[in-house]
Amino acid sequence: MPRPANSGDSNLHACNPQGCNSHACNSQAVTPHRVIPTGGPAPFAGPKWRNRGKIAAAPTITVTSAARPRKFPALLITSLLLYAITSLFLTGCSSNATPDPSQLTFLLESNPTNLDPRYATDTQSQHLDSLLFNGLLERDPQMKLRGDLAESWETPDALTYIFHLRKDLRFHDGRPLTSADVKATFEFIMNPANKSPKRGAFRMVTAIEAPDPATIIFRLKEPYASFTSNLLRATTGIVPANASADFSRHPIGSGAFRFVSQSQDDEVIVERNPDYFRLPSSDSGGAGLISRVRFRIVPDAIVRALELRKGSADIEVTSLTPDIIPVLARQPTLAVTERPGTNITYFGLNLEDPILKHREVRQALAYATDRDSLIRYLLHGQAQVATGILPPNHWAYEPNVTQYTLNTARAEQLLDSAGFPRGKDGVRVHLTLKTSTDEQFRVLGAALQEQWRRVGIDLELRPLEFATVLSDAVKGNFQLNLLRWVGANNDPDIFEFVFSSKRFPPDGANRGHYRNPRIDALTDQIRTEMDQEKRKILCSEVQKILADDLPYLPLWFTDAVSVHRKSLGDISLSPTGDFDFLTALPADSGRRSVQSREFPAPEKTYAIIEPLRSASRQ
């Protein structure tokens, strides 16, 4: 199955042997990202940041005696550690991370597992591969498809795709890149003997032809509207036809950066490819572009924050917990760049459970969940409420669906109608939530315990290693779970993969065993419909049905956030939080700056969420 980033589901479904890929988003313009720099106060017009200079009234949080931590020393140590770290942030000294302004130290939370793009499925590997390799296609800033290695392409019929390569393409070692390399890459993936986890994305391909060095033809056995999205650089980079067995240790691509070295669990070093066919121009200051990037593996979020604070690192992307961001944002040498993201956090629901099989119960859970408060206080506003699995910037997104804002009275009515009245102890039902041991998810679970208790739902939290949570989800061994889709929800094929009754694991990700004949029929049509407007109409009906049935409970889309050296200026983050912005990032001239802004004092935020942290440790 596809792998998560942190606590989540797959990256892109081309990584799934039975799944489809993350596909084209021929969307409207994506909401511009915003830079939230450090230092003095400056008003910001965006609604999410109205209270950045003050703390809004926090919701009442009741911690019962049962929720108090049993191990006081551990809580005391944690509290003192946070206090010490905050003090260090506010008073510590800084040092220069990179003496050469054209070099960058980039912090990663985990090691890339395989830099061979024919096998890479984890987030870090795919993000790095997108710098080292090229695909036939890529996405533009509005997430529409455009050519990468391909200069143009056409589809003479629904079963034939013809791509014409750019001229004078070369790999990093100087060898020409031709259609023979493209053909060899895909045939390697499709060969069962090679056990590529991406093989399932090309199950409909019957033949690949290379009639000349600049032309590649794919022939399909059935229409597949999202086929081109399996050809993106981020998921299927092109490798040399004679790639060796140890290719992952010495990858050779054609991308904007070339591989230099990798030390397991320590660092990956890349440097700019001076012969890149799409080399961006220099910045306005004439200082050139970043020439070398050292990706350092630092698993602990607090250590990553300290590295940024003291200046021994230059940048991270979406690797810090929300409560650390405001602390770092107060530092005069750092800035925070943020934009709405597409990665969705959600509750998985087991519809074969005798309680959750009732639609009224699922809707009651939605009405009992105060997502706005959770985003404001636990995520520090770094997310957008989700109404479905497709992000709002997607061309197929349907806004006119059933909405679930906090309404405890309505939740209680639905539970009564489903046959679950309050007992003498006030409890209607007992539910168990499986989540990862990640602190953010544990604190979220504790907050939900409090919110759902108000409508008579007793929620038991069961923190587990993420691999166990996902394994249990695949086996159907759960009542509720808390997961995150990372990058896989960029094409309407996600509806079939997650909600079709034909796609129960291991043939898909319908882990809750949702069954709806109308959804099955609609997703079959979405898979083969080539006309985008007709496809959008089909997607609209699917989203309306899912919003009523609630086979899963969408929570929010997490923002893409980067803490970085202020002198790097404006970072052009993508909604998925990839690293492609490095291809055009100017070297640090020391002259660029960003507008100052004020964040809430970290000790106030700490006071709001610490009771939930305490409860989550049980």
d(CA 341, CA 507): 28
d(CA 469, CA 581): 33
Give the start-to-end residue ranges of the domains of the chain: 13-19+343-377+390-558, 110-249
Mean pLDDT within 601-613: 50
pLDDT of residue 72 exceeding 70, the answer is no
- Which range has highest mean pLDDT (98-102, 361-365, 566-570)? 361-365
- Given this model, what pLDDT does residue 617 score? 55
- Classify domain 110-249 at the CATH class level: alpha beta
pLDDT of residue 83 exceeding 80, the answer is no
- Structure tokens of 106? 């980039």
* Nearest by Cα to 497 from 526, 466, 530: 526
* Mean confidence (pLDDT) of the chain: 82
* Nearest by Cα to 542 from 558, 529, 525, 557: 525
CATH ID of 13-19+343-377+390-558, from 3.30.2130.30, 1.10.10.10, 3.10.105.10, 3.40.30.10: 3.10.105.10
User: Is 1 in contact with 470 (CB distance < 8 Å)?
Assistant: yes
pLDDT of residue 164 exceeding 90, the answer is yes
- Given this model, what pLDDT does residue 589 score? 56
Its pTM stands at 0.75
Instruction: Categorize the per-residue pLDDT at 50 as very low, low, confident or very high, splitting at 50, 70 and 90.
Output: very low
More confident position, 433 or 50: 433
- Residue-wise pLDDT for 464-495, tens only, equals 988 899 889 989 999 999 998 877 788 898 99
User: Is 522 in contact with 398 (CB distance < 8 Å)?
Assistant: no
- Given this model, what pLDDT does residue 580 score? 93
- Residue 18 CB contacts under 8 Å (≥ 6 apart), including other chains: 200, 503, 506, 507, 508
The least confident of 65-79, 205-219, 321-335 is 65-79
- Given this model, what pLDDT does residue 62 score? 33
* Nearest by Cα to 279 from 268, 269, 270, 290: 290
d(CA 401, CA 473): 27
* Residue 505 identity (one-letter amino acid): P
The separation between the first and the last C-alpha atoms of the chain, rounded to the nearest angstrom, is: 31
- Residue-wise pLDDT for 280-293, tens only, equals 554 433 348 899 99
Helix (H, G, I), strand (E, B) or coil at 101: coil
User: Is 30 in contact with 393 (CB distance < 8 Å)?
Assistant: yes
Residue spans of beta strands (DSSP E) within 504-587: 552-565
User: How many Cβ atoms are within 10 Å of 78's Cβ, its own excluded?
Assistant: 16
Q: Is the dihedral of CA 150, 148, 120, 396 positive or negative?
A: negative
- Structure tokens of 57? 């009234």
Which residue(s) pair with 343 in the sheet?
558
